[in-house]
């Protein structure tokens, strides 16, 4: 309307709206009849900010690091979702070398809940033990993991881990975590809701999964190897129980309510 009545104005409609939005003109948004009817669109994170998250943390960066430090153990991190329409999800950690996996129940698949898990583990076992067990974490580019600085930096602003990201749509770059999720799906098939489960239920499930022997581990169980490779205080915090071979259940019956 303004431009129609004043063709001498040398600015586009978009430019005028930007000036009004920034307060450069005395006209306010409320003075524009259409403006107040429109929802403000969220532009989301900028491309530059998105790139900054991954700077120095790409899969290529990880390969370069491992070439220099080949004995570094990798912890693969991921989430397992419940059925659509429900909130709770599982945050999983897979420790290389022993195939041990731990899972934490998240109230929802949000980054703040992931950070809370990191903080609770560090608070319980100390920064040194946390850094020893989680020295390097590889994960995907899911929205729940888009706060690398907050995950890497813990109590007293000490660095507790280093986060690296798989390339887009390349979950195969963390194959051990993906493979081990098959055990979870034996007990909680696709379409299962986690909303009715407690962390105690998840601990029971992971106790059975980690007690099952694997041919790839020379007939040993992840639990047995974890006792040799992971800090004892971490295993104590996980509060898992070694299940006798004849009592292991890897079916939905384990968590049947």
pLDDT at 2: 52
Q: Where are the domains of the chain?
A: 2-37, 50-255
- Mean pLDDT in residue range 118-146: 96
Average predicted confidence (pLDDT) for the chain:
85
pLDDT at 151: 97
Question: What's the half-sphere exposure (Cβ side, CA atoms, 13 Å) at 93?
Answer: 23
Q: At what angle do helices 222-229 and 199-211 cross, to 10 degrees?
A: 100
Confidence of residue 189 (pLDDT cuts 50, 70, 90): very high
pLDDT more than 70, % of the chain: 80
pLDDT at 13: 53
* Residue 257: partners with Cβ closer than 8 Å, 6 or more residues away: 196
pLDDT at 8: 46
Would you say the pTM of this structure is higher than 0.75? Answer: yes
CA distance 218 to 245: 15
Do residues 148 and 163 touch, judged by C-beta distance below 8 A? yes
- Output DSSP code: residue 154: -
Do residues 180 and 101 touch, judged by C-beta distance below 8 A? yes
Confidence of residue 40 (pLDDT cuts 50, 70, 90): very low
CATH of domain 50-255: 3.30.420.10
Do residues 101 and 206 touch, judged by C-beta distance below 8 A? yes
Chain center to CA of 248: 29
pLDDT at 36: 42
């Amino acid at each position: 309307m303004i431009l129609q009545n004043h063709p001498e104005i040398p600015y586009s409609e978009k430019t005028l709206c930007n000036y009004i939005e920034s307060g450069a003109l005395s006209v306010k948004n409320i003075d524009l009849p259409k403006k107040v009817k429109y929802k403000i669109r969220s532009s989301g994170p900028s491309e530059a900010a998105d790139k900054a998250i991954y700077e120095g943390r790409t899969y290529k960066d990880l390969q370069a690091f491992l070439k220099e430090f080949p004995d570094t153990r990798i912890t693969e991190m991921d989430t397992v979702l419940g059925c659509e329409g429900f909130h709770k999800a599982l945050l999983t950690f897979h420790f290389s070398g022993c195939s041990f996996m731990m899972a934490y129940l998240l109230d929802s698949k949000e980054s703040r809940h992931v950070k809370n898990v990191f903080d609770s583990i560090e608070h319980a076992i100390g920064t040194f033990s946390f850094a020893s067990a989680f020295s390097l974490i590889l994960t995907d580019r899911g929205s729940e993991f888009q706060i690398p600085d907050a995950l890497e930096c813990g109590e007293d602003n000490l660095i507790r881990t280093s986060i690296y990201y798989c390339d887009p749509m390349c979950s195969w770059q963390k194959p051990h975590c993906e493979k081990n999720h098959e055990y979870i799906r034996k007990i909680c098939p696709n379409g299962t809701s986690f909303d009715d489960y407690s962390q105690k239920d998840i601990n029971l499930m992971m106790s059975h999964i980690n007690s099952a022997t694997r041919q790839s581990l020379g007939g040993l169980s992840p639990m047995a190897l974890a006792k040799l490779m992971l800090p004892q205080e971490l295993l104590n915090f996980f509060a898992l129980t070694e299940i006798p071979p004849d009592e292991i259940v890897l079916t939905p019956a384990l968590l049947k309510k």
